[in-house]
Structure 1
């Protein structure tokens, strides 16, 4: 029986949200020893050395300062509580971030920035701070500021966690003091952005950026009837009309998009149409990320996937999000076109 994602209403507990904050399957086995810095890019070896050094301290459980040190006061510079890896796609930032998480003692957390904001939105700021203040390390992949609300929320969250002794690690394609540019009036939130930047020791990782190579070619979409037929033949496949699906996503908190895919092995979508609404597009970006994390092949009907986002969207402030989503959806669609699928190549 074909699954209809648009008819599902998952409920997700706070315990599940926290328990799922681990590296995705494709990074479950990475370690510092499996990272191969490019010989002609010394910044990659430098970043490896910095994170390896941090991992030594993080491998030990967090300890409260002794009474003597509290009485004396701290005279030495403890250094910044976080490290921030800035660089293009495909230079190994996520590999290094996941490796650091694997080395650290628990409790620890690994999530994308979007997952973090969704988590705080679902739990509430106070509950999130209470739940995370005892953590040894929080790793945040794809750090980005999309709107003023995110800026205020994450600034307060990380400020309170750092004060509680939590260490941070993050990756991004944007330097901390440039976050928010092109997306909102970042100058109006300069204090919050500077506060976020102040938590991190920034390390630049150089290397070829996938955007210079262009997006992979989108496969030719199937007729809707073929999408429905193949979905019916595959075990645990979902099949939804594009409009039904994106309208349903608007009624769910994004923290539930992962649970929406529980028990699904293939996602089929008919009548995919070009998007002009930024809100709809951003919800689909989140769904694409959850599908990609789970290596779910995509059966796509309608327009070719490289026509999903408008030209204006691909030139706007969310450009990097849309390019990442297109790259991932195209990879999943290519996997969906063969009868037997294997792990999607990142």
Structure 2
């Protein structure tokens, strides 16, 4: 549970705040102070009979980065992980999905024991898609805070608004409010840095060009898009990262609008894993901004879909380098 390859070398110093968005520079300062406040983790000196015990810290023991896609939240979260003065085995970094998968693999109590000795838990892409996740994560984070674990998370939704548009969030208001109490919200404004000042997404390549590029590129895959979607339905999303091991480029033919929401959500997870690993994508068919229907882009998962479009578009730009000059 460490930052993925794309964010292995990022630091606060490599984050480039947009001068037009003061909240970005403020976020760097707040998170730098937050990391410094976690200290070295050395055990406190034994107190004497007449010395007062240090007061318990007041307020939330966590920070929550809220903002649109592409403002650098994951960059900042990974920078916080790197800046925290603790060995890698005492701090954890993972997506919200990876955290829930960890509970599924280890069991709840073992997860609390495993993470309870950590100094920091960073959760990327914090989203509540169903009531079960709400209760699970609320209980887990409560246990970890009690154990002294500091929390940091990113999301496109304020903590008090998690779950809206996806399930009857009002029925689970207590759990959602309990989650919110663990965090200090930190708003980060700005436009998507992946497209700031850049041209529009590249047009899809011709199918013949995609096939030729796949054969000319060591470590490239070549799949018809419908076959890829079918395969994703047969693999648990927690294994999508492993699917990309050893892959240097992804070539797809016949890309078209995804047929349903379940398929779309699986594709979002794959897009995140490809982006984390900086794997270029070259595709024929429709452009990536036409992957999801208007209904999907107006629904409760719209922020996930826009993030996927943004990331796939960035990878498609990288994929242009696979074509002959």
Q: Tell me if TM exceeds 0.5.
A: yes
1:281 aligns with 2:261: no
The one of 71, 75, 82 aligned to 2:62: 82
The one of 124, 130, 142 aligned to 1:141: 124
Q: How does 1:1-346 map to 2 (within 5 A)?
A: 21-61=1-41, 63=43, 76-104=56-84, 105-106=86-87, 107-208=90-191, 217-339=200-322
Distance 1:31 1:233, change over 3 A: closer
Structure 2: unaligned runs, 5 residues or longer: none
Give the Cα–Cα distance (whole angstroms) in 2 for the partners of residues 197 and 160 of structure 1. Answer: 15
Distance 1:68 1:97, change over 3 A: farther
Equivalent in the alignment of 1:13: none
Deviations 1:116-161 (A, max 9, x none): 2233333333332222111110111222112222212211221121
Distance 1:179 1:138, change over 3 A: same
Give the Cα–Cα distance (whole angstroms) in 2 for the partners of residues 326 and 215 of structure 1. Answer: 15
Contact 1:218 1:330 in 2 (8 A): yes
Q: In angstroms, what is the RMSD of aligned CA positions?
A: 2.9
TM-score by length of 2: 0.87
Contact 2:250 2:281 in 1 (8 A): yes
Q: Give the number of aligned pairs.
A: 320
Distance 1:89 1:215, change over 3 A: farther
Give the Cα–Cα distance (whole angstroms) in 1 for the partners of residues 79 and 119 of structure 2. Answer: 15
Shift of 1:212: 11
Structure 1: unaligned runs, 5 residues or longer: 1-20, 342-346
Give the Cα–Cα distance (whole angstroms) in 1 for the partners of residues 197 and 97 of structure 2. Answer: 25
Shift of 1:210: 6.6
Of 162-171 and 24-33, more deviation after overlay is shown by: 24-33
